[in-house]
Amino acid sequence: MAKAKTPLTAVERRAEELDTIAAVLPIERRDELAELLTDQDVETLRHLVNQGMGDNTLRALTSDLAYLEAWGMAATGRSLPWPAPEALLLKFVAHHLWDPQRRETDPDHGMPDDVDENLRRQGFLRSAGPHAPSTVRRRLANWSTLTKWRGLDAAFASPALKSAIRLAVRAVPRTRRRKSAKAVTGDILAKLLATCATDSLRDVRDRAILMVAFASGGRRRSEIAGLRREELTVEPPIEVPDGPPLPSLAIHLGRTKTTTGEQDDVVYLTGRPVEALNAWLSIAKIDKGSIFRAIGRFGTVSKRALDPQSVNAIIKQRVQMAGLEVKDFSAHGLRSGYLTEAAIRNISLLEAMEQSRHRSVQQASSYYNSATRRSGRAARFL
């Protein structure tokens, strides 16, 4: 007689449901999330996956939802209420945007010690001090989005909440940091490429990652991780004076941070980056599927794509191998570095934006301003 199947607990059931969306939404902390999130939380995430929301947006929503649920449990002793009352939103701001100097004389100011310790124990808090205003605003925005997807309204646009955030930011001015402290300009890129000098699988792969990410306009790490062989189109060679024709190919980007996926956004590679990419595709025997993949201990190329965090880790590893400060550079440095290098070489802003696919002239021009102001006449009066 067959043994009766033991019914799943609520946590086990949520874990299985999270597994069903893992292909679209990679989840590294599935078991922890299954305990933190409620049934309705998981159903909301499944709904968003079915709506075709971008992978990176879904990761951010899931990460922030997990943090909010963990904070809500630590701060109030219960799961988040939906919709959240205005008082809870104000408590969230008070716990995350506070003045370190006032905290020295008023221990009740800011996040309570027991809440702080609870979140640190679970791995949700690592650094000391208040959160960055941008992080608080993003989490509130995602909280609002999740509330709307549940068909509910909340006080996210209330004057009291906006005023609390504005006053908290003014009280503790912070210097805005770039995603990468320093740009990976042409000279830095040359040092990183010098660490990829052999014909080993890792060197060939990492050389292709560096050159493709930079030359294609400073592609984001998520875009590099998500590149597929089917998105490449071989173009006619580029004729150049006094030299052989240069190989050329097009990359069809599909959905990115600034596109819907319905647009056919294309960037082009010419010359050495194409040769580096072709060398990787050949040595790794990749004729379909993900382009950049993990490499096993015994030199086996995985069938699965690298994740964006691995792309960033590869960049940092090459930075260390080049003898540079690891904390100064990240994958985003390739994006800012492309525009900075374009400014140094006097390439027009609009031409560079065609390749970088920036939608905002204001944001793209900030790299140009940084590159030219230091050496400009306005900075050399004396």
pLDDT, tens digit (0-9, with 9 covering 90-100), for 165-178: 888 887 765 555 55
Write phi, then psi, for 66 (nearest 5 degrees): -60, -45
CA nearest 148: which of 9, 224, 48?
48
For residue 51, with 0-12 CB atoms within 10 Å meaning exposed, 13-18 middle and 19 or more buried, which class applies? exposed
Q: Is the pLDDT of residue 158 over 80?
A: yes
Q: Is the pLDDT of residue 179 over 60?
A: no
SS3 174: coil
CA nearest 10: which of 39, 43, 40?
39
- Tell me which of 76 and 335 has the higher pLDDT: 76
CA nearest 75: which of 122, 110, 112?
112
Q: Tell me what percent of the chain is helix, strand and coil, each rounded to the nearest 5.
A: 55, 10, 40
Average of pLDDT values for 207-211?
96
CA–CA separation, 24 and 53 (whole Å): 10
Task: Decide: 274 and 248 in contact? Cβ < 8 Å.
Answer: yes
pLDDT band at 102 (very low <50, low <70, confident <90, very high): confident
The DSSP bridge partners found for residue 252 are 266
Q: In terms of DSSP H, where are the helices of 23-82?
A: 30-36, 39-50, 55-76
And the tokens for 320?
């260390």
CA atoms within a 13 Å half-sphere pointing along the CA-CB vector of 93 = 19
**pTM for the structure as a whole:** 0.58
Taking each helix axis as running N to C, give the angle between helix 186-194 and helix 308-321, from 0 to 180 degrees, rounded to the nearest 10.
80
Ordered domains of the chain (ranges, CATH)? 10-171 (no CATH), 186-376 (1.10.443.10)
Residues whose CB falls within 8 Å of the CB of residue 19, separated by 6 or more in sequence, listed in order: 30
Average of pLDDT values for 331-354?
81
Average of pLDDT values for 355-375?
63
* Terminal-to-terminal C-alpha distance of the chain: 94
Q: Is the pLDDT of residue 203 over 90?
A: yes
And the tokens for 292?
């950049």
Q: Is the pLDDT of residue 273 over 90?
A: yes
Over the chain, what is the mean pLDDT?
82
